[in-house]
Chain A
Amino acid sequence: MKNDTLFIERFQNRDEAALSKLYDNYSGAIYGVIIRMCRNEEAAQEILQETFMKAWDKSHLYDASKGKFYTWLYRIARNTTLNFLRKQDKLIQLEDLSVYEDEGVEDNQELHTELKGALSKLDAHHQKALRLVYFNGLTHKEAHEEMGVPLGTFKSYVRQALEKLRVVYGKELLLLICILELLT
């Protein structure tokens, strides 16, 4: 990941050029999370805009000592999306439930929400565990019930999945460094 410290400082000083740069850097990653979580392209677009609006309005609240900028942005996006979904649930309860029966948590080809990269190469249970908590917005408790495994086992799945990914990312990073060394 890039070092955005300078841009983040300028962003916190209401520099629109810095916001533009940070949007360019993070919007794809954040939009990927949002669209997988809400599974609605139009809504995802609105939520993405709202996420950056909130980040802009509350930029003074970001504390780099407590975590990465991406983490802060992800939490805003996650909460905004979950609020949208809660409102949708209320509307659905008032309407015909059968209309929504076919919608599940499976990947949607049209929305390009299938998992990619190292995550897609993980074991199915590791992949699902991360997808439930990271892309579907479930809590650990909801997710272990969804997977039908004890909470402790589920937590292990998440931890193990991240460790495996870290190894893959470490190798990729090492490979990248080697390529860069060769190029120079």
Chain B
Amino acid sequence: MKDRDTIIQSGMLEQYFLGTLPKEQIAALEKMLAEDEILAVKYSEIETDFENIAFENAVQPPNFIKNNLFVAIQDDDPKVKTLPKEEPPAPKSVNPKVLMWIAAGIAAIFMVSSLWMFTQWNTAQDNLQVTQQELNTIKQQIANLEGNLKDSQLLAEVVKDPNTLQYALKGNDKIPGGLATAYINHESKSAVVNAQKLPALPADKTYQMWADVDGEMINMGIIDKSKDVVILQYIDEAASLNITIEPAGGSDHATVAQLVTNVYL
């Protein structure tokens, strides 16, 4: 390090005061100033000289600057606490295990909800099927009711017609107690039979009605036991009406041995 006189002659003290001394020399000079009282006094003289110059050349600043300064300081004063802004929480680093648990939880929820939805869907399907069946049943019932209504209307029309002749066909020994009522209208050439009181037959059997014309049995039609009133084919010049038991689906020729009832016209 330079000695005291060299420092004084080099202008380092003035530069140090002015703040233009190179950084690498500042620490060394400050150390010397701390240790060398004479040098420190010299520096203090320089400080005073510059300070005197400044005070001799002082320029009075406007008063508002001081006011502004104190306003600014009070705005900036930590005593005036400003409420912390509500900032969105900084994204935290998430533990991969936590992420895995979250993913597993979401997957489980998805599976459970899928299973529940599948069950619900199946239940809905079953309900729909039942509903459809019920609907079909209702439709069938409506159709039956409509059929019955038509039969009743038909029967009413036939019965109330004064030209209609009514014949009772009582069952023989093969169907004791059995009864069928035939309504024949020669004017309108219609034939209707009410077979409600004929006893039920096995599934492979059916009642069939025949008209005897000149000794020959002419087919009038199969009597459908599910209906109250059955429309049959009208046959001209029939001498009698005959009902036989035939195989299901009916026969082309009457099985006379299975005649259960007849009536002469």
Contact = CB atoms under 8 A, between A and B. Distances in A.
A29 B70 contact: no
B59 A35 contact: yes
B53 A31 contact: no
A45 B65 contact: yes
A155 B11 contact: yes
B59 A1 contact: no
Contacts of B15: 139-140
Contacts of B62: 45
B70 A20 contact: yes
B82 interface: no
Nearest to B56: A117
The DSSP consensus for interface residues of chain B is helix
A169 to B, nearest CB: 5
A82 B44 CA distance: 25
A26 to B, nearest CB: 9
A70 B47 contact: yes
A115 B52 CA distance: 13
B61 interface: yes
Interface stretch (B16-24, B122-130, B205-213, B226-234): B16-24
Nearest to A36: B57
Most interface-central of A27, A57, A113, A135 (chain B CB within 10 A): A27
A65 B40 CA distance: 10
A67 B21 CA distance: 15
A10 interface: no
Contacts of A78: 18-19
Interface stretch (A83-91, A95-103, A157-165, A175-183): A157-165
Question: 3 closest pairs, A vs B, by CB?
Answer: A117-B56, A28-B58, A155-B11
15 contacts: A16-B70, A32-B58, A33-B57, A48-B65, A66-B30, A75-B19, A111-B59, A112-B59, A117-B56, A117-B57, A133-B14, A155-B11, A159-B9, A162-B50, A165-B53
